Amino acid sequence: MSFQNGAVTGDQDSYWRHKQANGSAKGAISKINDILGGSDDLPMYKDKPHFPQSRRRKWWQQRRSLTVLATLTITILWLTGWFSTAPKLESYSSFTSGQTYTKDPKLWRERADAVREVFKTTWNGYEKHAWGMDEYHPLSKTGRNMVEGGMGWIIVDSLDTAILMNLTSEVARAREWISTSLSYTADHDVNTFETTIRMLGGLLSAYYLSTNYPHLAPLLDDDVLQPGEDLYIEKATDLADRLLGAYDTPSGIPQASVNLNKSEGIPAGDGLSSTAEAATLQLEMKYLSKTTGEPIYWERSEQILKVIDDQQMEGGLVPIFMHPSSGTFRGQNIRLGSRGDSYYEYLIKQFLQTKGGEPVYKEMWDDVMDGIKRYLITWTKHSNLAIIGERPGGLHHELTPKMDHLVAFMPGTIALSLTNGTTVKDAKARLGPLWTKKHDEDLRLAEELMKSFWGMYKVTATGLAPEISYFAIDNPPRQWSFDDPDWSPPTPDELSDDIHAPWRLDYDIHPQDEHNLQRPETVESLFYMYHITGDTKYREWGWEMFENFRTHTQVIDELTGQVYAYTSLDTVTESPVRPKRRRDNMESFWLAETLKYFYLLFSDLDGEDGLPKLEDIVINTEAHIFPRFSIEDSKVWKTGWSRKPKKAASPAPDAQQGQQVPVGLGVRIDPKDDWAADVKAGNIGLEKKAEEAEPEGEEDGYAFPPPPVVVASTNKEVDEQGRSLDEKLAKMEQEWVDKSWDDGAAGAGAGKGKGPKSHTSHNGGGGGEAVKLKDRNRS
């Protein structure tokens, strides 16, 4: 589905607009409400009829009422296009601006229970058809292992969700499998990052919750272990010891893969590691060190942050690839989506994990926030929606108006960084005058980004977001202003239900990006935004999302007619989704993250269920829960490195003294020019100004400077300002494009499966062929 120049492409959506334009569906809700004497401010299904106490009426009165009711029913069906031969469509969304949202605790408990039931249904289907296997294929009712014997990928990853939901029987069966079947002796390679955040993180979270919140899922009398035996921590320590082999590189940047049997790091075929993978291991390793008293996990993982920070990248924003041998960045691609995202997430979360005991990570986060606003934030053309773009050519090259669904972690993370997990009200009371205008600006930014990601759901026929969306923006893009004290970001439009609303024109979904893997990032941010701001609309948005997941991703048994699973989709742009557009794969994060965040969003963290309070915990990038702890008086647990003195920012390439190259525009401007401030603030359309500033002899109106070299390459093959390297990385990125798993593909040991977000698709050359893991950092 693509929204361009006011037109919508795609059979289903074209039909919807056609029906609107011809009046057969246009304003149906409004017409029906007029008949009933209601208001069209609320969707019909929200309206609750009010009837007097029932009493028996005469037969002719009943018949007249039935006749009126039948006539009304037929009218409604006709107005909504029921009798048309074209396919039926669901409304894009049911929530409108200005709606009053419910705070009824009983209703939200019922909704949390509904999430719990979906988890149980999914778990039971997996247990019946693929128990112990690393992958679950719901449509074919089969499973598959990534390594010989399996790693219990789904069991371990989703275990702490079962604990939080107080599913005692499910937890007991998982513990038994972990005790009797989980081992790391298979002679295969696994992804270092994925194994850390899912397996190590899952075990550590289960340990924390079971020891500190035993009431959530108490052990049964016939538990596999006796009291005092630490099943989870013993398995976690064994795994971490094997993972340390990946860190044995000259720079300390871990290899992309590791052979757990040999504890041997295996480089990817190109020799590179992604920045997010290398720098998203610290929460897990530090908590393990604190729990076991062994500092090696802490020390090895924090070294990575020193290597990254020592390079003093502009705006705190770093390229998405690193070389473990040299520790240097490769290429210039800057983005907060795949291969970049969780590096930034773990900066602020490391600060919170030690209760502020490592201020260096707050400083790095503050640099990042400044850089994001300076280089990546812009607003859409038609409705002023805030987006975080990408700069694939480096910070001084064009902005690409693209957001992966993965970037949706940012609104919640920004809010978390402002209050440390308490409510805004409590944070303001605690900080007093230290709560500044900047805090308010950043909170507003979080709220506006949250709305933009909600729009990615609201704009589609299913009400589910695509994997990636592009956006319509100004040329050049508007920028955040740091110089004008009176400047404020533009106010976004409301996301109205009007099918012709201008905001819909800002979303551009490409056919190759319209799939949905049941990702958690948007509901993750809704969870933080609700519990931090207290605004119930975030709960309501989440409830609508959950209902759409339940409706469109459910799998029904043909024999029993019962739902037994939920699965990924090839498209979100048609409703209902045809059977052939459904993928035969359920990612483990559906259980580990998505349903967990829905459950916690609808739950009271201070209520009778005794769930952990947000200000007491830190949640890793796979939604596994760890405690916060103090290192204030410790001589062992402390930051083992310090930042280098900051060097002055280098001038933009090819700029003369007193000049700058504005972000997103390849023309030089002089600060003395009367329009320079407007250029920087993004307040004017700049085609004319670009022509005026065009150097003599240029034909296309733009004079882009040569690409800056981030780090000088030591490889002759990629010299000459990185041109050969850029070509190589572009080719590599293309090879890593997300594809669905082919039915009947070869097993992981054969190394031939095509997996979404596969990192380890290359032969490591030292420990067997790498197993393809479907990771959250989609390429």
Q: What is the mean pLDDT of the chain?
A: 79
In this prediction, residues 497-501 reach a mean pLDDT of 95
Q: Which sign does the torsion angle of CA 545, 555, 194, 169 carry?
A: positive
621 known member of a binding site: yes
**Nearest-angstrom CA–CA distance, 703 and 545:** 45
pLDDT, tens digit, 9 for 90 and up, residues 301-328: 999 999 999 999 999 999 999 999 999 9
Give the tens place of pLDDT for each residue, 84-115: 333 332 333 444 444 668 889 999 999 999 99
Per-residue burial over 559-574, b if 16 or more Cβ lie within 10 Å, else e, is eeeebbbbbbbbbbbb
Place of tokens 């690839």: 321
Of 440, 396, 398, the residue nearest 419 (C-alpha): 440
Q: Concatenated DSSP letters for 248-301?
A: -SSSSPPPSEEETTTTEEE--TTS-EEHHHHTS-HHHHHHHHHHH--THHHHHH
pLDDT, tens digit, 9 for 90 and up, residues 630-649? 999 888 899 999 999 987 65
The verdict on whether 148 is a catalytic residue reads: no
**Residues 341, 345, 506, 584: which is the catalytic one?**
341
How much is the pLDDT for 219? Answer: 76
Query: Is 441 labeled as catalytic in the residue annotation?
Result: no
Give residue 688's Cα distance to chain centre.
39
Is residue 214 within 8 A of residue 228, CB to CB? The reply is no
Higher pLDDT, 196 or 483: 196
β partners of residue 627: 617
Query: Tens of pLDDT along 201-229?
Result: 999 999 999 999 999 988 766 666 655 56
Rounded Cα distance, 78 and 757, in Å: 45
pLDDT at res. 71:
56
Residue 745, pLDDT score: 33
Largest CA distance in the chain: 95
Say if CB 258 and CB 192 are below 8 A apart.
Answer: yes
pLDDT in tens, 387-426: 999 999 999 999 999 999 999 999 999 999 999 999 999 9
- pLDDT for residue 370: 97
Q: Which two tokens stand for residue 764?
A: 């490591």
Angle, CA of 674, 676 and 679, to the nearest 5° = 130
User: How far is residue 572's CA from residue 514's CA, in Å, rounded to a whole number?
Assistant: 6
| Second CATH level (architecture) for the domain 105-627 | Alpha/alpha barrel (1.50)
Write down the pLDDT at residue 37: 33
Q: Which span out of 377-391, 640-654, 659-673 was modeled with the highest average pLDDT? A: 377-391
pLDDT value at residue 8: 37
Is pLDDT at 590 greater than 50 in this prediction?
yes
β-strand partners of 377: 388
Q: Which residue has tokens 């019946």?
A: 128
* Per-residue model confidence (pLDDT) at position 217: 84
- Is the pLDDT score of 571 beyond 70? yes
Residue-level pLDDT at 334: 98
Enumerate the domain spans of the chain.
2-79, 105-627
Cβ-Cβ contacts under 8 Å for 57 (sequence gap 6 or more): 65
Question: CB–CB of 605/528 below 8 Å?
Answer: no
pLDDT of residue 170: 97
Of 264, 398, 467, 508, which residue is the catalytic one?
Answer: 467
Residue 762 has pLDDT above 70, yes or no: no
Q: In the annotation, is 341 catalytic?
A: yes
For the chain, what is the total number of helices (H) and then of strands (E)? 24, 19
CA–CA separation, 284 and 303 (whole Å): 14
The 10 Å Cβ neighbour count of residue 441 is: 14
For 290-323, b where at least 16 C-beta lie within 10 A, e where not — what string? bbeeeeebbbbbbbbbbbbbeeebbbbbbbbbbb
Residue 769 scores a pLDDT above 90: no
Q: pTM for the complete prediction?
A: 0.76
Verify whether residue 194 is a known catalytic residue. Answer: yes
Rg for the chain, CA atoms, rounded: 27
How buried is 687 (Cβ within 10 angstroms: 0-12 exposed, 13-18 middle, 19+ buried)? exposed
Confidence of residue 36 (pLDDT cuts 50, 70, 90): very low
CB atoms within 10 A of CB 224: 16
For residue 191 the two structure tokens come to 């992804």
Reply yes or no on whether the pLDDT at 150 is more than 70. Answer: yes
Per-residue pLDDT tens digits for 724-748: 554 555 555 544 433 333 333 333 3
Find the catalytic residue in 135, 194, 284, 506. 194
Give the model's pLDDT for residue 472: 98
Q: Pick the residue with more confidence: 362 or 80?
A: 362
Cβ atoms of 345 and 361 within 8 Å: the answer is no
DSSP state of 380: B
